[in-house]
Amino acid sequence: MQAILNHRLLSTRGGTAALGVLAAVVAGVFVLLYLNQYRNSVKASSGPVTVLVAKKLIHKGTPGDYVGSANLFVPTKVPESKAIVGAITDPVAFKGRVAVDDIFPGQQITAADFSIAASAAIQTKLVKAQRGVAIPVDAVHGLSGHIGPGDHVDIFVGFNTGTKPVIKLLMQNALILSTPGALNAAGGGRSPSVVIRANYQRAIELAFAADNGVLWLMLRPAANVKATPPEAVTVESLLFGVQPITVQKKIRDFVAAG
């Protein structure tokens, strides 16, 4: 009788163990299925994202507006896990900012690479061959009190060659970067200056004209500007309608002969 009980007990224990093993296998299968489903859901939720990557070297101090307008970046799709924290995805983020460090080709561009540009920082409005040149003006010739940063002007220069005074257009649609404050109430001291944006060669010409002639600034309309051909004005052209080009040629011939 005891032997029969022992046999039944062993059979029961064996069955319980088998059930335990089977339960463990089933649980393992469910875990594997869950993990596989989780990985798939993660992959689905972390698909590729589009970030902006530098196409060429962006130097420290480069205006963000220029980065955007010159397309110094290329939209690139990368896995979400590869996107750097703060990666810029919209070129609008460049507006009004300036690069705080060099950004190398192939590098993801991030918000940390740019800071808000100071509105008065002239260098943030200059790129490549552009220069900011200060030209001395007085209240009349320089439209003191009537122009400000961001305005556009035409610049004329007047010379007295010794025989024929002449005034001609030197630069059209010049951007004003900076203007002087109110004129010195005492009327003394240095002449105020206006900072103009120009390419390198034109900046040199402006400097020469300021040293050897008289500069006039003429304010342009804010919109719907009508294109006007450049002209030179002389006494003959003003009084008698003689073509300025004829007078200019005679002046050049006279100077060359002397």
Q: What is the pTM of this model?
A: 0.56
* Listed range (92-101, 122-131, 135-144, 222-231) with the worst mean pLDDT: 222-231
What is the mean pLDDT of the segment spanning 167-177? 89
Contacts of 134 (CB under 8 A, 6+ apart): 178, 193, 194, 195, 196
Indicate whether 100 pLDDT > 60.
Answer: yes
DSSP single-letter state for residue 109? P
Classified by CATH at the fold level, domain 48-116 comes out as: Type Iii Antifreeze Protein Isoform Hplc 12 (3.90.1210)
Average pLDDT of every residue of the chain: 76
Q: Quick one: CA dihedral 142, 143, 148, 152, positive or negative?
A: negative
Beta bridge partners of 234: 166
For the chain, the structural domain boundaries read 48-116, 129-229
Amino acid 31: pLDDT: 55
Return the structure tokens found at 133.
């040149």
Indicate whether 136 pLDDT > 50.
Answer: yes
* Closest among 71, 74, 77, 127 to 98, alpha carbons compared: 127
CA distances from 119 to 52, 65, 98, 125, 181 (A): 25, 13, 11, 10, 16
What is the mean pLDDT of the segment spanning 173-182? 79
Amino acid 54: pLDDT: 94
Where b means 16+ CB within 10 Å and e means fewer, 238-249 reads: eeeeeebeebbe
Q: Which residue has the tokens 């006039």?
A: 216
Give the H or E element holding residue 2: helix 2-45
What is the mean pLDDT of the segment spanning 118-123? 67
Amino acid 182: pLDDT: 38
Look up residue 70 and give its amino acid: A
Indicate whether 74 pLDDT > 90.
Answer: yes
| Calpha distance 104→81 (Å, rounded) | 21
Indicate whether 80 pLDDT > 60.
Answer: yes
Write phi, then psi, for 99 (nearest 5 degrees): -65, 130
Contacts of 135 (CB under 8 A, 6+ apart): 193, 194, 196, 206, 207, 209, 210, 215
Confidence of residue 10 (pLDDT cuts 50, 70, 90): very low
* Closest among 131, 178, 119 to 153, alpha carbons compared: 178
Amino acid 186: pLDDT: 40
Beta bridge partners of 232: 168
Amino acid 185: pLDDT: 39
Give the H or E element holding residue 244: helix 244-257
DSSP single-letter state for residue 79? E
Amino acid 201: pLDDT: 93
Of 78 and 233, the one with more pLDDT: 78
Q: Give DSSP secondary structure letters for 165-184.
A: EEEEEEEEEEEEEE---SPP
DSSP single-letter state for residue 142? T
Write phi, then psi, for 135 (nearest 5 degrees): -120, 130
Kindly state the percentage of the chain with pLDDT values over 90: 19
Q: Quick one: CA dihedral 222, 224, 230, 233, positive or negative?
A: negative
Write phi, then psi, for 67 (nearest 5 degrees): -60, -40
